[in-house]
Structure 1
Amino acid sequence: MDIVYQLVQGMSGLPAQESRLARFFLENFAQIPESSMEELAIKAGVSPATLQHFARSIGCDDINDFLGKVRHQQQNNGPRSRPEAVGILGDATWVEPDALQKLAAHAGIGSDILERFSHSIGKESGGDILSQIRARLNDFSQQESRVAQTILDDVGFAASATIDQLATAAGVSPATITRFARAAGCDDIRDLRMKLAQSSSPVTNGTLPEPWQEKLSGVHSSLNSQLNELSPATVARAAQMLKQATATHIFSASGADTPFASLLQYRLLTLGHPANLCQDSALMSITASMLGAGQVLLIFASHTPENALIAAVHQARRKGAGIIVIAQGECSFTQQNDIVLSLKDNRYGLLFLIDLLCDGLTLKA
């Protein structure tokens, strides 16, 4: 019997208390044979009867049979010098590849068992997504290899690009991007982007002052949060609506939104798209009454908008204007045909979203 395998299976297939016991034994594998049942019960915070029941649950006759199988497996993995004791690892830490390597060395577990264990919890030891892509360059199809090379050439771009943007940069179809994501071991394009963002996270530079390092880490975290909040299809729809509009009218719900609204207006104008910015509630009503089909009303609402702005939105909608709302939290004034872009971070995340929208305007249909 492969006792490590049985413990791994127990983590997912047993009741909560016994699942925690399986984790406890994996984390303290080297100390198990040296402890009595009473000592193990105290360390694990359970009763001796629970230990006996657990041992039978994973296929052993009793706790003594379990301890014997642990000793046998350690002996079969060859003699090893006893490493210094390590503390019990936390839930988030012990499943990381480096921690698994330490745990394996500490417990005298062979590489084959470690590989099976890593696979069973989705933590293959192949490194991050970039390492996996590099290692499999020769295994991808010709089209997929073009995607891989595009990603490796500019990881930052790939981590934030929409599926259409990445497809255009690689010279392939969006369907190829989806196939590549799966071939690279990701669930979909969003999973791929998230892993790329994690792989391209800024490395702490020891020469930077600590406050700068903290700021850099915070910015990266904000961008990651915003990236995970967005739907590429929704961003693409919004960009397409702006691209086809005869004019875009931007309403700002609060003073905090105004700098970002002004930035978007400037970006649209420099790209050749007529754009107007309105911050006054009285002018919003007048502007909305003059809108019609083919025009777009874009609302910045990182804070709860006033009734005057909400009334102007309803008026513009009745006139046939397209509605795009950039909002943080629930939006009670939106309707089914409106495009709502969820805002996770109202500073760096908002700047990131403006970039995505403007980049979408430059894509060929």
Structure 2
Amino acid sequence: MKTPTDIITRLQLMSQDGTKSDRRLAGLVLSDLDFASKAAISEIAARVGVSEPTVTRFCRNLGCEGLRDFKFYLAQAIAIGGAYLSPAPLSRDAREQRIAFAITEAAIAAIQRAGEALDMATLTAVAARIAGSGNVLCIGSGGISSMMATEMQNRLFRLGLPALAQVDGQLQCMYAAAATPETTLIAFSVSGHARSVIEAVEVAQQYGATTVAVTAPGSALAKAADTVIAFLPVEDGNIYKPTSSRYALLAIVDMIATVVAESRGPTALETLRPIKQSVNTLKVDDPRLPLGD
């Protein structure tokens, strides 16, 4: 019997395309997850008006061995994604579309938490290493982490450093295999368990590269890297808006870039100047605009 990987999706499909009794049972479960996860088979059958064997057949049609097995997968789904199944009513602010305040306040709070928890001595040491590197490989997997790898490259190349971002898992390992002792690899992972990122760190170390991880302390990636800039996201529970963690990670990227720029001094400025010159000459002649952004 095939094990259900997402019992909620199967229930949703069953509520539309199943037999009459299966549709009724699926509708009951989806409308009252708490009851379905705790009720006896007799109570479920009575609530829908079917026989107990019908309830058993329903569970088997979902890919479960029986009611007990079904409850296990249902409890697992509730534990993992319960907040998305029965979300709390929107707050008055959200109903009135006062979104700007919610987003900005959460972003500010995330950045402040990251700043307070940050080990600046470690970050400064990492930046000093980057500033003297022959080349920098930035890697990340997933939405936020891959964005940070790309942004790290964007910050470093304009400082005169040969930096490259890779977000493809196989290419990460291939580029890591081309590392040298002059290479610094910067790995981003919010969870610290992105397999391709961990493997790339391990490969780069075989060739003498210095590896840095911006990740959760104690994670698999943190254990693999030479140096860790610890980052623990703290969410505010608003499941309707994107995570604020990316603002905090972006602040860490900017801190690293700033220290690198100061470490390189005039060398960095001489790279920034022609970039600014070309942008203003070829695009918009407004010195107030950000550098190439």
Higher relative contact order (CA 8 A, sep 6+): 2
Q: So what's the TM-score if we normalise by structure 1?
A: 0.40
| Structure number with larger C-alpha Rg | 1
Q: So what's the TM-score if we normalise by structure 2?
A: 0.49
